[in-house]
Amino acid sequence: MISMLLCRRAVITAIAIVAGTLLSAPSSGHDTRKLESLTVEQARELVAKKQPPLFDSTGAWLSLDGLKTLSPEVAAVLVEPAEPLSLDGLTKLSPETAAVLAKHKPVGGFGYADLRLNGLKTISPAAAEALAAHQGMILLSSLEKLDSLPLAKKLAAQWGELRLGLTELSPEIAAELAKNAGVAEDKTQPGIIHRRADRAPSVLRLDNLRSLSPETAESLSKHSGVLVLNGLKSLDPIVATSLAKRTGTLVLNGLPSLSTEAAAALAEFSGELVLKAITELPPDAAAALAKHKGRLHLTGLTAISPETHAALQGHANLLLPRQVPSGP
């Protein structure tokens, strides 16, 4: 009996030691992304034991994606090192914590986000305004609503691809996001240029938008670079007319079809036009698109009638599927 009790105590002690180690050990030895809570003391120990620069598989120096809540006091400890910080598990952000995270210093390396908050779908105006003071690059790819002009201006000014999960977009916010030119240069390191093959100054991805108002489309017409709107399932000719005013590349890989009127409007676009989700194209719409002068992607076509094929022959820079069965 005594030996059994001793064994049980030994097991309990071992479990306690392992648990304590998991809470305090650096991510190089244990996966800190599984931590769901963190005290100030644990945060200090975690930061103190870190040996930068160490990066995990997400590109973050310290990945704490398991955290569900974050107090201002713990955040103050985590932002002390000037290294990337990933907090993708947070779904809520108080103004007080946002103000502390805004003090996180930019990282001295091109290609890494300074602060990852990809779990946030909503953010209060007060928290958004506080976070707007952050000087580096923040990822908010799941953010569904953005009504803060200060945060929109901050996001537009930061470097790198700008990707947001917005499900609605006002003309005012769109006008700010359209100013993004972050692909061309790392603003935190003057003189460091990230050159794409197409020389696009910006990549703006808004894949969760299901519709665009004419006013919002007009605001986005000022954007130059790569604009990705794969969430659109239909395209009003008025919206198409506004989008055609912009320069660069327009990606509309969510459109299953295209009316003749919308095709005629898009034909005025001078840049690269990507329409890979269209499976069938009527001859009239094909004839309208054939007047487009840039590169045209129609690689999703599953069948091309002789009339549509003849109409598309007028396009000088067309990409079609390698093998497409001809219609009757």
What are all long-range contacts of 297-304, with beta carbons under 8 Å and residues at least 24 apart? 297/272, 297/273, 300/275, 300/276, 303/279, 303/327
Helix (H, G, I), strand (E, B) or coil at 297: strand
Tell me how far the alpha carbon of residue 141 is from its chain's centroid: 4
What per-residue confidence (pLDDT) applies to 150? 97
Is residue 317's pLDDT more than 90? yes
Closest CA to 134 of 121, 156, 151: 151
Q: Which two tokens stand for residue 159?
A: 């470097």
Q: What is the residue-averaged pLDDT of the chain?
A: 85
User: Residue 10 pLDDT more than 60?
Assistant: no
Q: Considering the entire predicted model, what is its pTM?
A: 0.84
* pLDDT attached to residue 66: 92
Interhelix angle for 2-24 vs 40-49, to 10°?
Answer: 70
pLDDT at 105: 86
Residues 20-79: pLDDT tens digits?
433 334 434 456 777 889 999 999 988 887 644 445 555 567 889 999 999 999 999 999
Model pLDDT, residue 192 = 65
**Consecutive H or E run containing 216:** helix 214-220
For the record, the structure tokens of 316 come out as 């000088």
Question: CA 313 to CA 318: how far, in whole Å?
Answer: 9
Q: How far apart are CA 74 and CA 45, in angstroms?
A: 12
Tell which residue, 137, 220, 133, has the closest CA to residue 185: 137
Closest by Cα among 93, 58, 99 to 83: 58
User: Tell me, what's the pLDDT at 245?
Assistant: 97
Q: Which amino acid is at 237?
A: P
